[in-house]
Amino acid sequence: MTTTLTTEALTLAYGDRTIVSDLSLSLPAGRITTIVGANACGKSTLLRGMARLLTPERGRVLLDGQDIHTMATKEVARHLGLLPQSPIAPEGITVAELVAQGRHPHRRTFARWTAAEDEIVAEALETTGVLDLADRVVDELSGGQRQRVWIALSLAQQTEVLLLDEPTTFLDVCHQIEVLDLLTDLNRSRGTTIAMVLHDLNLAARYADHLVAVRDGAVHAQGSAEEVLTEETVKIVFGLDARVVEDPISGRPLVLPLGRHHVSA
Ligand SMILES: Nc1ncnc2c1ncn2[C@@H]1O[C@H](COP(=O)(O)OP(=O)(O)O)[C@@H](O)[C@H]1O
Ligand SMILES: [Mg+2]
């Protein structure tokens, strides 16, 4: 079960301000794509466009070859999930209730809630380590707990494509690795096609089958982490002088930023 998500010359704008221009990108089916780029270069806008939350000025987004703007909202949501950068939970909703909402696209109106649905929700809570928070109100959780609840919601949705906008925000380094490992498990066990924006270049390199560097609303470079994360690309995309060495753990590129006070070994 692998699904492809492709953009064709996608142009996205807010009013008359074009943010993403003429961007063509294909997420490799059943693989993990990580997306990096400087602040405000259009990463979140791109993800929103790919999830049908924005109407393109020009171009198309294709889910298994079908233009997502010709599909019903619920049908898109059955195949494609998006965890936004700053998701907002309905006031007063509990963890279990929020995660159960992930099942909504799969259910017919007025259909009875089934034991199978309960199991999917419980499994999502368990996998993300928030089962003991099930009855807590989402607003009252810490940033890290809340982030894991949102990931549980994405898991419960069981979509073939999952887009995540900085899913490791608010998490300490241990939980960052846990979440990224969890998403890798999901990718390996279910073949979920995953694309995620990550701030940490080294984690983006480690977890990527495919890495995309975005600059000014366009793809500057894409390919393997080794192909994309070169000193030259880091300089152009982030304006950062850095040394790139091999990560002794993963063998992937490890970006070591230079700075005015730290220029050489
Ligand atoms: N809802 C919006 N209305 C108008 N401009 C927006 C909106 N959201 C984002 N922008 C602008 O679009 C540009 C790209 O933003 P964004 O896609 O969030 O960048 P990134 O995720 O790469 O940091 C920024 O200049 C931002 O101010
Ligand atoms: Mg963003």
The predicted structure's pLDDT at residue 265: 61
Q: How far apart are the CA of 166 and the centre of ligand 2, in A?
A: 7
37 lines ligand 1 (CB under 6 A): yes
Model confidence pLDDT, tens digit, residues 49-65: 999 999 999 999 999 99
**Domains of the chain by residue range:** 5-224
Between CA 119 and CA 88 the distance in angstroms is 25
Low-confidence ranges of the chain (pLDDT < 70): 1, 265
Q: What is residue 141's DSSP assignment? A: S
Q: Any idea which ligand is nearest the CA of 15?
A: 1
Model confidence pLDDT, tens digit, residues 121-173: 999 999 999 999 999 999 999 988 999 999 999 999 999 999 999 999 888 99
- 36, 45, 85: residue to mutate for ligand 1 pocket, most atoms within 8 A of CB: 45
43 lines ligand 1 (CB under 6 A): yes
Ligand 1 atom closest to the CA of 42, numbered from 1:
17
Question: Cβ neighbours of residue 187 under 8 Å, at least 6 residues apart?
Answer: 30, 31, 32, 193, 194
pTM, to two decimals? 0.95
Which run of H or of E encompasses 184?
helix 173-190
Start-to-end CA span in the chain (Å): 48
Among the CATH numbers 3.40.605.10, 3.40.50.300, 3.30.70.1290, 3.10.180.10, which is that of 5-224?
3.40.50.300
Longest dimension (CA), the chain: 65
The predicted structure's pLDDT at residue 262: 85
The predicted structure's pLDDT at residue 108: 76
Strands laid side by side in the 218-223 sheet: 80-83, 161-165, 193-197, 32-37, 210-215, 218-223
Q: What is residue 130's DSSP assignment? A: -
Q: Report the sign of the C-alpha dihedral through residues 53, 55, 59, 61, in that order.
A: positive
